[in-house]
Amino acid sequence: MNTTDKTQRVNILKLFEYCLNDRENLKELLELLNERVEEFLASARMYLKAKDRFSIARVSHRLRNSLLMIEARGLLDFLDVIEHECQQLDSIVFLEKLLEDFEAEYRLVQADIQQQMKRLYA
C-alpha cells in the first residue's frame, strides 16, 4: 500500500500495524470509527436544531482522535473549521453546511477505506 498517495483521503496502514496485522481487529476498529462518526453527526444535528454551538464543538473535539488514527486529514480539517465556527456568533447556517460537507467527505473516506481493505486482503 502506497502511503504517499496524494489521492488517498485516509491511511489505514498504521492502524493495521497497530492491530499487529490482524484484519479482524482492524475491521472492528473501523466499525467502531464508523459508529463514532454516525454518533457525531446525529449529536451535531440535534445540537444544531437547538442552536447549541458549544455542544457541537464538544462532540467535534471528541471525534478528533478517532480520525487521527486513520490519518483522515480532510475530515480533521472540517473539524478544525467546525470548532472555529462554533466560537463565532450567528454561525448556525454555516455550521449546517459544514456538517453536510463533512458527511459527504466521510462517504468518500469510507470508499477509500474499502479500497485499502481490499488491498490488505489481496
| pLDDT reading at 1 higher than 50 | no
Read off the pTM. 0.89
CA distance linking residue 110 with residue 36, whole number of Å = 13
Cell, residue 74: 480532510
Phi and psi at 50, nearest 5°, equal -85, 0
Predicted confidence band of residue 61 (pLDDT cuts 50, 70, 90): very high
Roughly how many angstroms between the first and final C-alpha of the chain, as a whole number?
11
Average pLDDT, the chain: 92
CA distance linking residue 43 with residue 73, whole number of Å = 22
